Amino acid sequence: MDVLVIDLLMYINLYYYLLYFICSTIMTLAKYGSIIDTPNIKTDAIVQGAILISELIKLTSFHKLREHRKELPIIIALLFTLLSVTGLYYIFFIQEPVLKLEMILDSILGIMLVGEVFYSISSLITLNKRSAF
Protein backbone atom coordinates (compact mmCIF):
# COMPACT_ATOMS: atom_id res chain seq x y z
CA MET A 1 0.00 0.00 0.00
CA ASP A 2 2.81 2.44 0.89
CA VAL A 3 4.58 1.80 -2.42
CA LEU A 4 1.36 2.66 -4.26
CA VAL A 5 1.11 5.96 -2.34
CA ILE A 6 4.74 6.78 -3.24
CA ASP A 7 3.97 6.09 -6.91
CA LEU A 8 0.95 8.37 -6.67
CA LEU A 9 2.96 11.16 -4.99
CA MET A 10 5.69 10.90 -7.62
CA TYR A 11 3.07 11.01 -10.38
CA ILE A 12 1.49 14.16 -8.91
CA ASN A 13 4.94 15.68 -8.30
CA LEU A 14 5.86 15.05 -11.93
CA TYR A 15 3.11 17.40 -13.08
CA TYR A 16 3.61 19.87 -10.25
CA TYR A 17 7.34 20.07 -11.05
CA LEU A 18 6.63 21.74 -14.39
CA LEU A 19 4.56 24.46 -12.72
CA TYR A 20 7.12 24.85 -9.93
CA PHE A 21 10.01 25.06 -12.40
CA ILE A 22 8.38 27.74 -14.53
CA CYS A 23 7.17 29.87 -11.62
CA SER A 24 10.34 29.68 -9.54
CA THR A 25 12.53 30.48 -12.53
CA ILE A 26 10.41 33.52 -13.40
CA MET A 27 10.38 34.67 -9.77
CA THR A 28 14.15 34.34 -9.46
CA LEU A 29 14.67 36.32 -12.66
CA ALA A 30 12.18 38.93 -11.45
CA LYS A 31 14.11 39.30 -8.19
CA TYR A 32 17.26 40.07 -10.18
CA GLY A 33 15.51 42.96 -11.93
CA SER A 34 13.50 44.11 -8.94
CA ILE A 35 13.86 47.43 -7.14
CA ILE A 36 13.40 45.61 -3.83
CA ASP A 37 16.76 44.98 -2.20
CA THR A 38 17.61 41.28 -2.18
CA PRO A 39 21.03 41.05 -0.52
CA ASN A 40 21.70 37.33 -1.06
CA ILE A 41 20.17 36.89 -4.49
CA LYS A 42 23.01 34.66 -5.71
CA THR A 43 22.66 32.30 -2.76
CA ASP A 44 18.89 32.29 -3.20
CA ALA A 45 19.27 31.40 -6.89
CA ILE A 46 21.76 28.62 -6.10
CA VAL A 47 19.41 27.11 -3.52
CA GLN A 48 16.46 27.36 -5.91
CA GLY A 49 18.52 25.74 -8.65
CA ALA A 50 19.59 22.96 -6.29
CA ILE A 51 15.96 22.25 -5.44
CA LEU A 52 15.00 22.17 -9.12
CA ILE A 53 17.90 19.88 -10.07
CA SER A 54 17.29 17.64 -7.05
CA GLU A 55 13.62 17.23 -7.90
CA LEU A 56 14.39 16.55 -11.56
CA ILE A 57 16.98 13.88 -10.74
CA LYS A 58 14.63 12.34 -8.18
CA LEU A 59 11.71 12.12 -10.57
CA THR A 60 13.67 10.79 -13.54
CA SER A 61 15.66 8.24 -11.56
CA PHE A 62 12.57 7.03 -9.71
CA HIS A 63 10.60 6.46 -12.90
CA LYS A 64 13.51 4.77 -14.69
CA LEU A 65 14.51 2.46 -11.82
CA ARG A 66 11.01 1.69 -10.58
CA GLU A 67 10.46 -1.12 -13.09
CA HIS A 68 13.62 -3.02 -12.17
CA ARG A 69 13.94 -2.78 -8.39
CA LYS A 70 11.77 -1.89 -5.44
CA GLU A 71 14.05 -0.53 -2.73
CA LEU A 72 16.74 1.34 -4.68
CA PRO A 73 14.48 3.97 -6.31
CA ILE A 74 12.81 4.62 -2.96
CA ILE A 75 16.18 5.16 -1.25
CA ILE A 76 17.40 7.46 -4.04
CA ALA A 77 14.13 9.40 -3.97
CA LEU A 78 14.37 9.72 -0.19
CA LEU A 79 17.89 11.15 -0.37
CA PHE A 80 16.98 13.72 -3.02
CA THR A 81 13.78 14.56 -1.14
CA LEU A 82 15.79 15.32 1.98
CA LEU A 83 18.04 17.59 -0.11
CA SER A 84 14.96 19.45 -1.37
CA VAL A 85 13.59 19.74 2.17
CA THR A 86 16.88 21.33 3.22
CA GLY A 87 16.52 23.87 0.41
CA LEU A 88 12.96 24.62 1.47
CA TYR A 89 14.22 25.18 5.02
CA TYR A 90 16.55 27.84 3.64
CA ILE A 91 13.74 29.48 1.70
CA PHE A 92 11.30 29.51 4.61
CA PHE A 93 13.62 30.56 7.42
CA ILE A 94 16.78 32.18 6.03
CA GLN A 95 15.95 33.77 2.66
CA GLU A 96 14.94 37.40 2.77
CA PRO A 97 12.60 38.58 1.20
CA VAL A 98 10.28 35.69 0.33
CA LEU A 99 7.53 36.48 -2.14
CA LYS A 100 3.97 35.41 -1.32
CA LEU A 101 3.68 33.29 -4.46
CA GLU A 102 7.03 31.71 -3.64
CA MET A 103 5.77 30.88 -0.14
CA ILE A 104 2.61 29.28 -1.54
CA LEU A 105 4.43 27.19 -4.16
CA ASP A 106 7.11 26.10 -1.69
CA SER A 107 4.45 25.18 0.89
CA ILE A 108 2.70 22.92 -1.60
CA LEU A 109 6.04 21.34 -2.52
CA GLY A 110 6.88 20.95 1.17
CA ILE A 111 3.62 19.11 1.86
CA MET A 112 4.34 16.70 -0.97
CA LEU A 113 7.93 16.19 0.19
CA VAL A 114 6.90 15.47 3.78
CA GLY A 115 4.44 12.89 2.44
CA GLU A 116 7.17 11.36 0.31
CA VAL A 117 9.53 11.11 3.28
CA PHE A 118 6.86 9.55 5.50
CA TYR A 119 5.69 6.98 2.96
CA SER A 120 9.22 6.22 1.75
CA ILE A 121 10.37 5.35 5.25
CA SER A 122 7.26 3.29 5.98
CA SER A 123 7.52 1.41 2.68
CA LEU A 124 11.21 0.65 3.29
CA ILE A 125 10.31 -0.74 6.69
CA THR A 126 7.53 -2.82 5.12
CA LEU A 127 9.77 -4.12 2.33
CA ASN A 128 12.48 -5.08 4.83
CA LYS A 129 9.96 -6.94 7.01
CA ARG A 130 8.72 -8.88 3.98
CA SER A 131 12.24 -9.83 2.91
CA ALA A 132 13.03 -11.02 6.45
CA PHE A 133 10.34 -13.66 6.19
User: How confident is the model over 89-131, as pLDDT tens digits?
Assistant: 999 999 988 899 999 999 999 999 999 999 999 999 988 776 6
Give the mean model confidence (pLDDT) for residues 54-76. 92
CA 20-25-31 angle, to 5 degrees, is: 125
Q: What pLDDT does residue 133 have?
A: 57
**What are φ and ψ of residue 118, in 5° steps?**
-60, -50
Cα→Cα distances 132→6, 21, 34, 85, 89, Å: 22, 41, 57, 31, 36
Q: What pLDDT does residue 38 have?
A: 86
Instruction: Work out the angle between the directed axes of helices 71-93 and 2-32 (0-180°, nearest 10).
Output: 40
- What's CA 117's distance to the chain center, in Å? 10
The percentage of residues in the chain with a pLDDT greater than 90, rounded to a whole number, is 72
Q: Which residue did the predictor score with more confidence, 52 or 129?
A: 52
